[in-house]
């Protein structure tokens, strides 16, 4: 059995597809591309696809991940192209590697988000970000299955910055951009929770809903404050595997007895 890990996007209007919608579209793409999928056992077999930390409906993403199990070996890049051609534009397969390591989900410990706040003056956004970053805790509320839940949105935020953007649209409205790095904790802190926190500490309330896009997700590096590529260990392992046979092939043959 071969395992392939894929990175895909949700762009444009496709950001409004739910995770269930994407699952259906992806399984159709697997059939169209004639992928030799492995299936689960039992009365209702289903293709072995593992999804990791999907973005909420309504948010765009450049970094969604999944893993598929195959019954026959396939070249990852060839498979990527076939699947990408079988999906609608906006749901794009942008990277593929063969899995040589375990624990992909364990390497998704943080996300980088961009929030576009149309109608918000960048100076107001900067003041709100300064207040948020200076707070020890910022309590927000979210409706959960068991009722309203109160939790701290500040502790999960590794960094939050604000800067200006070009005027948005024909009316020359101001526009602020927030760049946010959030650790994946329990309960999960989402971009809209951070917006609720900015409203709580600085009364920042965008006049229209924010356009939210996940730019990256992966392992959070505490020293640099960056989010690393979760597929890099698989690429490194693949390179090491090909380097060993190449080195053996070029090594000089041992000399026989004189």
pLDDT per residue, tens digit, the chain (258 aa), is 899 999 999 999 999 999 999 999 999 999 999 999 999 988 888 999 999 999 999 999 999 999 999 999 999 999 999 999 999 999 999 999 999 999 999 999 999 999 999 999 999 999 999 999 999 999 999 888 888 889 999 999 999 999 987 765 556 789 999 999 999 998 899 999 999 999 999 999 999 999 999 999 999 999 998 999 999 999 999 888 876 565 555 656 666 555
Taking the C-alpha atoms of residue 210 and residue 49, their distance in angstroms, rounded to an integer, is 31
Angle at Cα 77 formed by Cα 71 and Cα 78, nearest 5°?
70
pTM (two decimals): 0.88
Name the CATH topology of 2-106: Alpha-Beta Plaits (3.30.70)
Taking the C-alpha atoms of residue 121 and residue 172, their distance in angstroms, rounded to an integer, is 12
Distances (CA, A) of 36 to 52, 72, 92, 153: 21, 6, 20, 43
Q: Which CATH number fits domain 109-228: 3.40.50, 1.10.357, 3.30.70, 2.60.40?
A: 3.30.70
Note whether 2-106 and 109-228 share their fold: yes
Q: So where are the chain's domains?
A: 2-106, 109-228
């Amino acid at each position: 059995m071969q395992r392939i890990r894929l990175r895909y996007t949700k762009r444009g209007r496709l950001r409004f597809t739910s995770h269930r919608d994407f699952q259906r579209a992806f399984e159709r793409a697997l059939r169209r591309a004639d992928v030799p999928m492995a299936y689960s056992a039992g009365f209702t077999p289903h293709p072995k696809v593992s999804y990791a930390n999907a973005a909420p409906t309504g948010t765009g993403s450049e970094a969604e991940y999944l893993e598929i199990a195959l019954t026959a070996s396939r070249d990852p890049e060839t498979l990527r192209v076939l699947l990408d051609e079988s999906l609608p534009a906006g749901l794009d397969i942008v990277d593929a590697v063969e899995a040589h390591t375990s624990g992909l989900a364990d390497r998704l410990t943080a996300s980088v988000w961009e929030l576009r706040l149309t109608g918000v003056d960048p100076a107001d956004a900067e003041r709100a970000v300064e207040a948020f970053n200076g707070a020890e805790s910022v309590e927000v509320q979210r409706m959960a299955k068991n009722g309203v839940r109160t939790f701290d949105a500040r502790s999960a935020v590794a960094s939050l910055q604000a800067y200006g953007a070009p005027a948005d649209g024909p009316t020359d409205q101001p526009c602020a951009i927030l760049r946010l790095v959030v650790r994946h904790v329990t309960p999960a802190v989402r971009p809209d929770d951070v917006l609720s926190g900015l409203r709580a500490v600085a009364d920042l309330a965008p006049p229209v809903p924010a356009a939210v896009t996940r730019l990256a997700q992966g392992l959070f590096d505490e020293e640099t404050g960056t989010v690393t590529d979760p597929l890099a260990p698989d690429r490194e392992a693949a390179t090491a595997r090909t380097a060993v046979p190449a080195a053996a092939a070029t090594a000089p043959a041992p000399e026989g007895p004189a």
